Amino acid sequence: MRIGVIIAPAVLLGALLAGGTAQASAAPAHGGPSSVPSSAPPSVTAREAYLVDATTGTIQLAKRDTRRVPIASLTKVMTAYVVRRQARLDSVVTITKADVRHAVAGGATAAGLRAGERLTVRDLLYALMLPSGADAAHALAQRYGPGTTKFVARMNAAAKSLGLRDTHYANPDGLPSKGYSTARDQAALATAALADPVIATVARTPARKIAKTSVHRAHTWRNTNTLLKDGALGLKTGYTRQAGYCLSFVAVREGHTFVGVLLGERGDAARFATARKLLEWVTGELDAGMTAGAGIT
């Protein structure tokens, strides 16, 4: 099995949003590694799920993939995407008391930031994506909206430009709100986000340490995405009681890039177990197709 960094180009966004070339439940095609799956997918306990071979545009699994639901901290993928289009990586953002209070008051995960610290945008992207810091999300939105209201407007404008017709953001962190998206839209966003080399690097980083300086404390941020241990390239976890356990992930198997989204999963471990089962299944499908294509029986 070969594992490498192969990110689907932006031109595949249209295919992903349109539904790809075939459903996993459709009749098998001519065989080979890019065909419709020939065996049934494993059981998926997530309420909504979507898995697509972004290399071919072939849907491997679709379960309520266009239903609008809350997506928790998967929201932060769009926050990172918007920041990358607004900010220089070496620009410095000062953390305020409001940033810290926002995370505490919302009961959200935080990156341990303190008022008065000054951190670069690059560092705050790690604080945003790895420990899923709502404090980092608030600080970035305040700076690059400027203000949360304008920043959320930028998020929704970006969603529209990407063709995410079933997505609406209400905040930059995914705390309970009237925001929503779909598994299919989040797969398309994952493809667009990981086409950005900075986001791609951040998303696949297991841990980020920054040393103490005169303007900020020492920080260690660990990635909540344990699928990285299985060779995944990212992307993001999320959880609220309203949304359940969520996961968007990208992985390369046998030269094919697979993009998956699980929403409303029943538990933390379950989302990763389901993702692993799906990746094992598609790898088996690819191996079987290659064997058949080579005339080996």
Catalytic-residue membership of 150: no
- Strands of 244-253's sheet in order across: 58-63, 48-53, 256-265, 244-253, 234-240
Q: How confident is the model at residue 25 (pLDDT cuts 50, 70, 90)?
A: very low
Query: In 20-74, where does DSSP find H-type helix?
Result: none
Candidate list 35, 38, 43, 76, residue with the active-site label: 76
Q: What is the pLDDT of residues 221-260, one digit of tens each?
A: 999 999 999 999 999 999 999 999 999 999 999 999 999 9
Q: Does residue 76 carry a catalytic annotation? A: yes
- Based on DSSP, count helices (H) and strands (E) in the chain, helices before strands: 9, 9
- Whether the per-residue pLDDT at 67 is higher than 70: the answer is yes
Which position has the token pair 């993702």? 275
Radius of gyration of the chain (CA): 19
How many angstroms separate the CA atoms of 63 and 50, rounded?
6
| Per-residue confidence (pLDDT) for residue 16, from 0 to 100 | 57
Contact 271/265 with Cβ under 8 angstroms?
A: yes
Catalytic residue among 35, 73, 181, 248: 73
Determine the pLDDT at residue 295.
Answer: 43
CA 8 to chain centre: 14
Which of 108, 151, 115, 149 is CA-nearest to residue 132?
108
Calculate the average pLDDT of the chain: 88
User: Each residue of 72-96: pLDDT tens digit?
Assistant: 999 999 999 999 999 999 999 999 9
Q: Are 37 and 285 in contact (CB under 8 A)?
A: yes
Report the C-alpha gap between 131 and 115 in whole angstroms: 18
Report DSSP letters for 164-190, one per residue: -TT-B-SSSS--SSS-BB-HHHHHHHH
Q: Is 173 helix (H, G, I), strand (E, B) or coil?
A: coil
Is 214 considered catalytic here?
no
Peptide bond before 146: cis, by omega within 30 degrees of 0? yes
Catalytic residue among 35, 38, 39, 132: 132
For residue 288, name the pLDDT band (cuts at 50, 70, 90): confident
pTM for this predicted structure:
0.88
Domains parsed from the chain with CATH numbers: 10-293 (3.40.710.10)
Q: What is the pLDDT of residue 105?
A: 87
